[in-house]
Amino acid sequence: MISAHGTVAEQEYLEMLFWLFEAGLPMTGANLARAMQLSAPTVHEMLARLERDGYIARNAERMIEFTRSGREHAEQIVSRHRMIERFLTDVVGVPWDDVHEEAEQLEHAMTPRFEAYVRASVGDAKT
């Protein structure tokens, strides 16, 4: 299921940008391309789309910055991902080594209703 806030691809880019931000790494197209193992032109095209849609802005040095709504949306995406990881490890018993890829698939497929059930069972996951 695609969120009302962006496509799966947009969500993946925002999620990776947030992880760069959290890690204290420069939010640049080059770092994003490296982290996502994508070509620079592919990343540039999506960054233009994210900028057009109001999720990010680029400063004079071409560094990427979240807009307020972009950061809020990225935080929601990452929170959902972490919640699913906790659910998979704590409730389902999925080994930690397997949990990230499973969470990547599930985070785009869950309905808001199911997300509320999962969140109620594991709380607000921070890791």
Instruction: Identify the pLDDT of residue 19.
Output: 96
Q: How many domains, the chain? A: 2
> Is the per-residue pLDDT at 1 higher than 60?
no
Q: What is the domain-level CATH number for residue 81?
A: 1.10.60.10
56 shares a domain with 17: yes
67 shares a domain with 84: no
Distance CA 107, CA 8 (A): 9
99 shares a domain with 46: no
Question: 2-49 pLDDT, tens per residue?
Answer: 345 678 999 999 999 999 999 999 999 999 999 999 999 999 999 999
- Domain contains 116: yes
65 shares a domain with 46: yes
Question: 45-63 pLDDT, tens per residue?
Answer: 999 999 999 999 999 888 9
The 3-state DSSP class for residue 65 equals strand
How sure is the predictor about 125, in pLDDT bands with cuts at 50, 70 and 90? low
